[in-house]
Amino acid sequence: MRASVLRPDLSLTVETRPVPQPAAGEVLVRVSAVGVCGSDAHYLRHGRIGDHVVTGPLVLGHEASGVVVGVGDGVDSSRIGQRVSIEPQQPDPTSAESRRGRYNLCPHMRFFATPPVDGALCEFVTIGAAFAHPVPDEVSDEAAALFEPLSVAIAAVAKARVGLGDSVLVSGAGPIGLLCTQVARAAGVDRVVVSEPNSQRRAHARRFGADVVVAPGQRVDPVTAFVDASGAESAVVAGIRALSPGGRAVLVGMGADTMSLPVSLIQNREIELTGVFRYANTWPIALSLVTTGRVELDALVTGRFGLDDTRDALEADRVAGSIKAVIRPTQIRKANHSE
């Protein structure tokens, strides 16, 4: 099979590798579409994210969909031919975290495209059968791949515990911020406010359901919950200050390892502050949101690329107006960005 491989010197090449074989309990998936995440671009540009360092060849990509083409022992062969959305997690089912249902926190997790675990920018991958979620024909390959970032948004809004009568401030109108906006709207909140410095992204926020869109520094009426999808310290501080007493702040964006926060305000207003690390048990919710039309994924895709164009796809976030790039690993010809 063909695979796009990142090396420690930050070179990126398409190489030929053996097709992986599914182990017991796994399925073999022919990859149809892979969404590009900011983490993929970060590995390309810096070779590391925190303690995760590219020290050997690495296949990037963890937002993926495909078709089951093979099964390992213990998996019903009727799954062959199923279109699936891949949940790119391989937790230890015996860990304490997995056994209590929070498998995303498993200390022995093997996660796609997190060194040294290869991801999905290749033609075939294997994954545990329970983590290859069937999708109906009405869900496109690209949308099925984007169930992964949608799951991050679902986990974030769930942590915010919002619903009817609530208001939410989302900082950052990148893909995750736009998905948090849509999920908050689907949760029934009365008012979704999005803060974003880029004017084009502010326009995207309006397109995807924000009631109010502001630039950083503009006044925001008090809100019930704050979701940060930017990772910027200034945005986090501003969001916490915008919370009503008893409000909830959820940190999703990956930024600096440490921040200076208004601790006395957090104490005096009894603000709840928490983080989100990936997701658990979100794929059924994602499927419901997409098939009922409450969340729109296909419209997020602004660039389509072949495997040979992986570098261009990973740099697409620097292109004005770009939201989400998608790579089709079986598409060999040069990308047509307008298709």
Tens-digit pLDDT profile for residues 31-55? 999 999 999 999 999 999 988 999 9
pLDDT at 184: 98
Tens-digit pLDDT profile for residues 136-173? 999 999 999 999 999 999 999 999 999 999 999 999 99
> Which residue shows structure tokens 């999703």?
252
Model pTM score = 0.95
| Integer Cα distance of 284 and 263 in angstroms | 37
3-state helix, strand, coil in the chain (%, to 5): 30, 30, 40
Please state which CATH number belongs to domain 154-275: 3.40.50.720
DSSP code for 299:
G
CATH classification of 2-146+297-328, choosing from 3.40.50.10540, 3.40.190.10, 3.40.50.970, 3.90.180.10? 3.90.180.10
**Numbered ranges of CATH 3.90.180.10 in the chain:** 2-146+297-328
Angle CA 311–204–187, to nearest 5: 110
pLDDT at 254: 85
Percent of the chain clearing pLDDT 70 (strictly above): 97
DSSP code for 155:
H
Residue 198 pairs in a beta bridge with: none
> Which residue shows structure tokens 């990148």?
174
| Integer Cα distance of 58 and 121 in angstroms | 10
Task: Return averaged pLDDT per consecutive 10 residues of the chain, 339 residues in all.
Answer: 97 97 98 97 94 96 98 98 98 97 97 98 98 98 98 98 96 98 97 97 97 96 98 96 98 90 98 97 98 98 96 95 95 46
* Phi (first) and psi of residue 326, to 5 degrees: -130, 135
**Numbered ranges of CATH 3.40.50.720 in the chain:** 154-275
Please name the amino acid found at residue 141.
D
pLDDT at 257: 84
pLDDT at 117: 98
Residue 84 pairs in a beta bridge with: 66, 134
